[in-house]
Amino acid sequence: MAQNATVHAKEKNAMDFRHEWKIEINTADLLALRSRLRVLMAPDEHAVNGRYRIRSLYFDTPTDRALQEKIDGVNRREKFRIRYYNGDTGLVNLEKKSKLNGLCNKQTVQITTAQAQAIAEGNIPQTGQDAPPLLQELRCKMKTEGLRPKVVVDYIREPFVYGPGNVRVTFDYGIRTGLRCTDFLNADLVTVPAGDAPILMEVKWNAFLPDVIRDAVQMTGRRASAFSKYAQSRIYG
């Protein structure tokens, strides 16, 4: 019971919303920014040689509501995904990302490999009373809204962290997509480049963004965008 209480507390704490910038950059920008941030920020403790591989499986309704709301810029929206890092299928997270008035929030809970495979196959997960609320919410929305797996997204991430403001800057690139959702846990899943996807810099912070980081991430001619890895990966269907 204590373990469940801890999980539920983490989910509750995750309800805080954060500021987020998404900025499309090119290779020359990446080299310059990487050099600046290595001086100012620390690498993420989970990174291997400064980066890690992410695989996500995104969900949507039969009418592609999440995709359409993203395209339309709906002020309040959400999307579900399951995700693991560096090929470690023994540690899979269920995540819900929410947007409200330009702010973002992410709730996360670990699920079992068996649960992840069942969900990837489109099966509604079985949950008991002690199941984490986020898993119960996914189950409910799979039953009532027809939420189902839509697309696999792979990419490389370079993360940097900065304590004051709880700042996180990441560079995402090499975005690839695979439509065989049931093979989410298969390391040999065939993926293809997700069109002409840019390099994406994401800057996230809590109440304030320190000036030293704000100045460091500025690039001439670059502005915040609404780029979505999920939307980009849906270009083939």
* Residue 71 phi, psi (nearest 5): -60, -40
Is the Cβ–Cβ distance between 203 and 31 less than 8 Å?
no
CATH architecture type of domain 2-233: Alpha-Beta Barrel (3.20)
pLDDT higher than threshold 80 for residue 5: no
Q: Are 95 and 82 in contact (CB under 8 A)?
A: yes
Which tens digit of pLDDT belongs to each residue from 125-159? Answer: 888 888 999 999 999 999 999 999 999 999 999 99
**% of the chain residues with pLDDT over 70:** 94
CA atoms within 13 A on the CB side of 18: 20
* CA–CA dist 165, 158 (Å, integer): 19
Between strands 19-25 and 167-178, the pairing is: unpaired
- CA gap 103, 96 in Å, rounded: 14
Asked if the model's pLDDT at residue 4 lies above 50, the reply is no
Asked whether the beta carbons of 216 and 40 are under 8 A apart, the reply is: yes
State the pLDDT at residue 79. Answer: 97
pLDDT at 230: 96
pLDDT in tens, 208-235: 999 999 999 999 889 888 899 999 999 9
Q: What does residue 76 show for φ and ψ, rounded to 5 degrees?
A: -120, 115
Query: How many residues make up the chain in this entry?
Result: 237
pLDDT band, residue 42 (cuts 50/70/90): very high
Which pLDDT score, from 0 to 100, does residue 15 have? 58
pLDDT over threshold 70, residue 91: yes
The mean per-residue pLDDT over the stretch 7-24 comes to 69
Domain map (residue ranges) of the chain: 2-233
